[in-house]
Every structure is written in structure tokens, then in C-alpha cells.
């Protein structure tokens, strides 16, 4: 059986993608820093999977914090000890910070950069070597529509996603000649807990995590380079950041 390793797979788009892959016959490995969230996610997925085939081996969890130095390397080695065929890597883990750059705690910014920039790069490097040896494999790096423009008051987050967008497009060209697909998902506003955590109301045009996940997995399987889910997100990514800031002000509680 082939497996998919999903970081940040216990909620939101990551959890929804886990369900999508299960339905397509893949086993899933969920990675998260929270043992509690891993247990909850696994139970939910087991209920979903039991409707197809009764086997808990399809769902594996790994507890690992990727926001600390060396976390990506430790996750890789934990995954290797499982002895399963990891066909797909999904770099999805992340969180956002809002506010003026001078007001955001430096430690928090460093932690976010480690999680959304450094960890995905390290995991790509490590898993690409394995995939090159097999001559097959897929990587889906989750960026954002925020990758296409600067983001005032979300400066580090948008910049980090811009890095992942550029990095993914570059290694896609390298990997293509080795039989490996690298795709970049750029979701827009999605109905997850992101806005709630940042003290904002979720916009009415937000796409569901399940719909986003289906489009993402479909795009990956078709070998698409950049995946932007939905017409609205494709339009909104072209709107200047100055106009978007108006809506952020409107959305604040």
C-alpha cells in the first residue's frame, strides 16, 4: 500500500485532504505537534475509513513539532522507521500572525518561519532523495493566494508563502526529469479556525476545507503545477493588497 504523509493533518485543509486520500485508496500518516489532536483526528478518520475497509493500519500518526530546529529531520526519520511506502508528501502545517511587524513577538515570528519555510524545505530535500531513487512520487506544498502579493499586517506570513510558491515552482522543474511531481496549492479564504484564532470573522465567500481539499488532490493527481481553488480566489489574488486591507478592517470583530 502507498501512503501519504500530511503535516498539519489534524484539522482544516490538511484533515480534509487526509479524508480525500483515504477515499482514493491511500494510507495516511498524520503529523502534528499535538498528541491530543492526533488522537481525535485518527478516530474521526477511522469512522470514515471503516465504511470502506476495516483496517486501522491505513491511518498512522506521528507526534512531532516542526516549529523547532531539527523537527523536520526528526519527522523524516520517524516516518522512515515505519517501513511503509510513502508515495506523497504534503507540506501543510502552518499558522498565521497578524499585526504591525514591530508589534509581533520575534520568537513567534521565528517559530512561524521555521514551520512554514524551513521545515517544508528540509522535508522536500529529504523525501526527494527517496523519490528520486524510486523514480516516482509526488509533493504538494501548501502556499496561499497571499503568495502573489505583499501582505501588510501579515507581512511575514505572506512572505513565507511567497517563498514556498517560488521554491516549489523551481524544484518542480528539477523533479520532473526524475519522474517526480511537485505541485503548489494556493488556497484563498477557507472555512477553518484561522480567522477565529486571529480575532476575525470568516468572510462569507470562504470556501470549505473539503472543497479545497478535493480540488487540491485532483490537481496533484493530474500533475498541475499551481493549484488555485475556485474562481473567486483566482480573481481575489489579483486585487491589490491596499484594497484587501479595507476588507480586513471590515472583518475585525
pTM for the predicted model, two decimal places: 0.87
Check the CA dihedral 221-116-121-233 and report its sign.
positive
Q: Give pLDDT, residue 107.
A: 97
CB 72, CB 126: distance < 8 Å: yes
Q: Taking 50 as the threshold, does the pLDDT of residue 250 lie above it? A: no
Where do the structural domains in the chain lie, given as residue ranges? Answer: 2-251
Above 90 in pLDDT, residue 199? no
Average pLDDT over residues 222-226: 98
Specify the pLDDT at position 238. 61
What is the arithmetic mean of pLDDT over 12-21?
A: 96
Which residues make Cβ contacts (< 8 Å) with residue 65, sequence separation at least 6?
33, 71
Q: Which superfamily, per CATH, for 2-251?
A: NAD(P)-binding Rossmann-like Domain (3.40.50.720)
Percent of the chain whose predicted confidence (pLDDT) is above 70: 81
- pLDDT tens-digit readout, 162-185: 999 999 999 999 999 999 999 999
- d(CA 108, CA 215) in angstroms, rounded, equals 31
Q: What is the CB-side half-sphere exposure of residue 59 using CA atoms within 13 A?
A: 27
pLDDT at 248: 47
Nearest to 86 by CA among 133, 54, 33, 119: 133
Amino acid at each position: 500500500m502507498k501512503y501519504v504523509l500530511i503535516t498539519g493533518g489534524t484539522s482544516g485543509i490538511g484533515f480534509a485532504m487526509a479524508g480525500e486520500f483515504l477515499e482514493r485508496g491511500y494510507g495516511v500518516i498524520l503529523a502534528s505537534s499535538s498528541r491530543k489532536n492526533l488522537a481525535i483526528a485518527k478516530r474521526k478518520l477511522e469512522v470514515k475509513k471503516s465504511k470502506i475497509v476495516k483496517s486501522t493500519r491505513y491511518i498512522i500518526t506521528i507526534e512531532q513539532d516542526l516549529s523547532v530546529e531539527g523537527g523536520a529531520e526528526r519527522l523524516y526519520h520517524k516516518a522512515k522507521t515505519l517501513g511503509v511506502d510513502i508515495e506523497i508528501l504534503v507540506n501543510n502545517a502552518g499558522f498565521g500572525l497578524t499585526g504591525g511587524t514591530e508589534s509581533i513577538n520575534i520568537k513567534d515570528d521565528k517559530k512561524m518561519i521555521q514551520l512554514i519555510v524551513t521545515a517544508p524545505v528540509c522535508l522536500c530535500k529529504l523525501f526527494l532523495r527517496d523519490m528520486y531513487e524510486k523514480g516516482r512520487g509526488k509533493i504538494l506544498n501548501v502556499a496561499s493566494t497571499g503568495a502573489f502579493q505583499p501582505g501588510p499586517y501579515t507581512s511575514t506570513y505572506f512572505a513565507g508563502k511567497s517563498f514556498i510558491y517560488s521554491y516549489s515552482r523551481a524544484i518542480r522543474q528539477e523533479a520532473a526529469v526524475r519522474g517526480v511531481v511537485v505541485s503548489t496549492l494556493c488556497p484563498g479564504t477557507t472555512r477553518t479556525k484561522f480567522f477565529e484564532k486571529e480575532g476575525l470573522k470568516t468572510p462569507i465567500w470562504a470556501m470549505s476545507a473539503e472543497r479545497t481539499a478535493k480540488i487540491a488532490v485532483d490537481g496533484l493527481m493530474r500533475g498541475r503545477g499551481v493549484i488555485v481553488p475556485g474562481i473567486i480566489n483566482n480573481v481575489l489574488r489579483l486585487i491589490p493588497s491596499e484594497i484587501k486591507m479595507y476588507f480586513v478592517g471590515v472583518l475585525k470583530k
